[in-house]
Structure 1
Amino acid sequence: MDRRLFLKGTLASGASTLLPRLSLAKSSDGFFELEAGKSQAKLYGDQGPFSDLWLYNGQLPGPEIRAKQGERVRVRFTNRLDEPTSIHWHGIRIDNAMDGVAGLTQPAVKPGESFDYDFVAPDAGTYWYHAHNMSWNQVPRGLSGALIIEEANEPFPVENDLTLILNDWRLDEDGALDTDSFGARMDFSHAGRLGNWLTVNGTSLPDIPLQAGRWHRLRLINTSASRVLDIAPARFGAKLIGLDGQCFGEARDVEGTVQLSPAQRMDLVMRPETVGTIPFEMMTGQPFTFANFQVSASEPDDQPLTLPGVNRLPEPDLSKARTLPLVMAGGAMGGMRSLMKDGKELDMRQMMEAGLFWAFNGDAGMQDAPFFSAKRGESIILESRNDTTFAHAMHIHGHHFRVLERNGDTLEHQDWRDTFTTVPRETVRIAFVADNPGKWLTHCHMLGHAASGMMTWFGVS
């Protein structure tokens, strides 16, 4: 983080912003109306310049869409941009035709045209939506929003159920979004597009209102292009209840930090007892405050903590599972001298010219043939090995998986995820049931890494 820029902006903004509860009003025909278009907003405090952004419905972040578990979600999307785009509903196990991956599950929506997304949300939890055509360029300009699927009897009242979208922006010296550096090969071949400015729900250093003596649910969503956020829940009195939309059924006391990589979500519960200010921090070697919880007096609620229910996901049969390798290679200092693209070997010079720096199992980018094909209901174990010098956030579309092992050590909590983080030289084993028919993307959610090779797909018959 650029601490000088951060401190300068903090003094200039004096941000004291209540987090809005944004939602879409249903139209008469039962559709949510969502538009992508060019807009402007101030990222660098109230006194900073306007940044040129791409937003949904002109809002930063995009409108929060809320629906009930099992409810039909219908979104009429219109593209007001000058280039094609699409919307991916991240983490939701929906019909493949609605997954929103341009070029794989649907054609990209052309400028001026519309597309109707229509799906049933089977699992309650914290999810999000974002652009999925040239994502490296469209998402860090602002095209993302929260998708919250509530239980039929949501245990937290609306005023105590807070969605916090955390985003990492790259600003120039004037405090406006740096648009000249989009697509920089230095970013693609290194850690990705890292910013120098953090916002919560589009605001820098906001005040987040809480009530003393009452339980709150905090839904954290990392929509950054590449930045991994390390959160220490115990430092502000919170307990962990879920990851990537899947709740545990119990509240965990966490020692140390929990990684929140790009695309990942974290659900916390928190019951502050006294009035005052509690820093909301990111751990970057030392605590780094990027928001403040402002606790106000209220009538104490003596009701015990009631947790969300647990979604019923298909359990993989490890005794019958097929194990497949997923070897990550490339990037700066990675030592990769060649890779395969569409059946042809590219040397280092050709790789640079094509903007390809990363590979899965020696192949760069989307291939005509799938990474693997599975029969519906087959259990799959992926054994990923990170042979690079950088971390990666691996996302599998259309499915949730259990994280079983790291470097041969069986994990105490084999939690359900849709995105897992892997650090350099690490081997991670995950398992899932391939029960959702269609073509499903698998990619790194450091978006520049995906654009420059870390992207493949698998088929479920």
Structure 2
Amino acid sequence: MPLKLTRRHFIASGTALATLGTPKVYAAGFDELRARVNEIQLLPEKYGQTQIWGFEGSAPGPEIRAVQGTQVQRRVFNDLPDPTSTHWHGIRIDNAMDGVAGLTQDPIQPGESFDYGFILPDAGTYWYHAHNRSFEQVARGLHGALIVEERSAIDIDHEEVLILDDWLVDPETAQIANTFGAMHDLSHAGRMGNYITTNGTYNLTRNVKRHDRLRLRLINAANARVFQLGLDGLEGWIVALDGMPLAQPKSVDGLLLLAPAQRIDLIVDVTAETGSAGHIVQLDRNESFSQVAFEVTGEGSSARRENPKPLPPNAYTKPDLASARNLALLMEGGAMGGMRGATMDGQMSSMRDMMQAGNFWAFNGAVGGMDGPPLADLSLGETVRLKITNDTSFPHAMHLHGMHFHEIEPNGSLGAFRDTTLLDRGEVREIAYVANNPGKWLLHCHMLSHARSGMMTWVDVA
């Protein structure tokens, strides 16, 4: 039975949104990339313009696209009022280029720049975003897509990069709400927006033809929102998660969960009739909304293609669970969590003292950060099996820098290969990876308010 779809309205009904235009696309090579303040028409025109922080003044920033095995070089200039840095999310990168202010580099001060240069080892869907006070800077718009193309073309008619985001906007001023670091966001589910966009656009629409085959690259750039997505008028297959291809495409026959920082690559065939529309559907509070509409303007072909083939795999070393080093990470704290205190700045502190310092969460009994000891000192090439326990009342999206990991299935086999895993409240998950990238690598919750308030640690690969 077809879903009953509703166009999501913001504050007032019957409004239309002016688009931001087409972002610039940089070829591989040296280019400047400026983080700066700008005024854009984010909301419908009746609300006036909104001040954002964006790469090249747009949100999302320019799409960076290059071919697997080539080099990307960007000189990032900071034209913002605050220090910043740029993290190249999901790229198995040299540690000095990872862009984590306070761990792999000093923050880029206002008026200064930093040169990032790195090889792209893996084809797939990635993104880049600010990594200094990221709970604020990403929410202000400092992010963009980084697409690494396969060396040979795949069988599709069109490709769409779709960056999903939500914004917390004051409707009286049309400005982003200056409530960063609010205690409720730090201690509960995180900063949730009241205005949802795709590629910076409200109710994004694309024109297609019936039986077109599309590659959809979905990126969740929201601070805390877990998008629950479905397909209507589209038949789809998951072909990659967090940039890494599946061994076999997996048919979409239910909801897709896309946690903050996660990516999903879909191959979809347009099955909606001419004159109607296919949709990426967002389900929220038992209602369904069109996240992206694909208006069917004609017939592309008279027949459907065969099911898609797998994407070319990215080369990597699979972990050997039999020889793995076992580690554990216990997540505690937050509202309704029952944690009474944790070690903070080397001393046992009460929950009240933690709250006064803006900390609400703990890893293994300690408030996390980059100044403390690592979760583990690892030898190069060592296999790690990490058991993560979410003993809190909220979901968390755990992201490991510099390396991808396998989620371990309940039967003990190696599951999806990705860089960010979503754990619901009370959930326990094991991940496994080979520590084959030397350096100091951050491991944190990508509900960015949670990372700010204690959910952060790191591993040192010698």
Task: Give me the TM-score of the superposition, normalised by structure 2.
Answer: 0.93
In 1: Cα distance, 2:228 partner to 2:8 partner:
21
Aligned to 2:3: none
Q: Can you list the C-alpha shifts for 1:101-123, whole angstroms capped at 9, x where unaligned?
A: 00100100111111110000100
1:238-249 aligned within 5 A:
238-249=236-247
The alpha carbon displacement at 1:352 in A equals: 1.3
Deviant stretches of 4+, over 6 Å: none
Indicate yes or no: 2:33 matched with 1:34: yes
Residues 120 and 148 of structure 2 are in contact (CA less than 8 Å); yes or no, is this contact kept in structure 1?
yes
Quickly say closer, same or farther: Cα 1:47–1:250, change in 2 above 3 A: farther
Tell me the CA shift for residue 5 of structure 1. Answer: 8.5
Aligned to 2:366: 363
Whether 1:24 and 2:26 are equivalent positions in the alignment is: yes
SS in 1 for 2:139: helix
Moved more, 184-193 or 238-247: 238-247
SS state at 2:14 partner: helix
Shift, 1:178, TM fit? 3.3
Conserved? CA contact 2:232–2:281, under 8 Å: no
Greater share of strand residues, 1 or 2? 2
Q: CA deviation at 1:10?
A: 5.1
| 3-state SS, counterpart of residue 219 of structure 1 | strand
Is the Cα contact below 8 Å between 2:165 and 2:220 reproduced in 1?
yes
The 1:228/1:411 distance shift into structure 2, 3 A limit, reads: farther
> Aligned pair 1:58/2:57, yes or no?
yes
1:375-427 CA distance string (max 9 Å, x none): 1111001100000000000000001011013xxx3388711110000011110
> How many corresponding residue pairs?
451
Cα distance in 2 for partners of 1:45, 1:291 equals: 17
Number of the residue aligned with 1:162: 160
Of 318, 337, 340, 1:337 maps to: 340
Pick closer, same or farther for the CA change 1:235–1:381 going to 2, 3 Å: farther
Question: 2-side partners of 1:434 and 1:410: how far apart?
Answer: 23
Paired residues of 1:126 and 1:265 also in contact (CA < 8 A): yes
SS of 1:448's equivalent? helix
The one-letter code matched in structure 2 to 1:294 is E
Distance in 1, Cα, partners of 2:20 & 2:100: 34
Superposed CA offset, 1:30-82 (max 9, x none): 41210000011122223322111100001221000001101011111100001
Deviation string for 1:402-458 (max 9, x for gaps)?
1013xxx33887111100000111100110001000000000000000000000010
Does structure 1 retain, via aligned residues, the 8 Å contact 2:37–2:80? yes
Structure 1 spans left out of the alignment, 5+ residues: none
Deviation of 1:281 (Å):
1.1
2:111 equivalent in structure 1: 112
* Residue segments in structure 2 that go unaligned for 5+ positions in a row: 1-5
Give the aligned partner of residue 398 of structure 1.
Answer: 402
Distance 1:243 1:340, change over 3 A: same
Equivalent residue number for residue 135 of structure 1: 134
Q: CA RMSD in A?
A: 2.2
Q: CA deviation at 1:173?
A: 2.8
Match of residue 271, structure 1, among 269, 272, 295: 269
- The residue number in structure 2 matching 1:327 is 330
Deviation at residue 206 of structure 1 after TM alignment:
1.6
Who is 1:311 aligned against?
314
C-alpha distance 326-295 of structure 1, shift in aligned 2 (>3 A): same
- 1:297-325 superposed Cα distances (whole Å, 9 cap, x missing partner): 25428765454211122100000001111
**Alpha carbons 1:19, 1:208 under 8 Å: kept:** no
Residue 230 in structure 1 maps to residue 234 in structure 2:
no
Inter-CA distance 302–4: structure 2 relative to 1 (3 Å threshold) = closer
Bigger mean CA offset, 224-233 vs 116-125: 224-233
Displacement of 1:208: 1.9
Partner of 2:391: 387
Alpha-carbon offset, residue 270 of structure 1? 1.1
Q: Is the 8 A contact 2:27 2:65 kept in 1?
A: no
1:397 partner letter: H
- Is 1:44–1:175's contact at 8 Å kept on the other side of the alignment? no
Deviation of 1:235 (Å): 6.3
Distance of aligned partners of 1:4 and 1:185 in 2 relative to their CA distance in 1, 3 Å threshold: farther
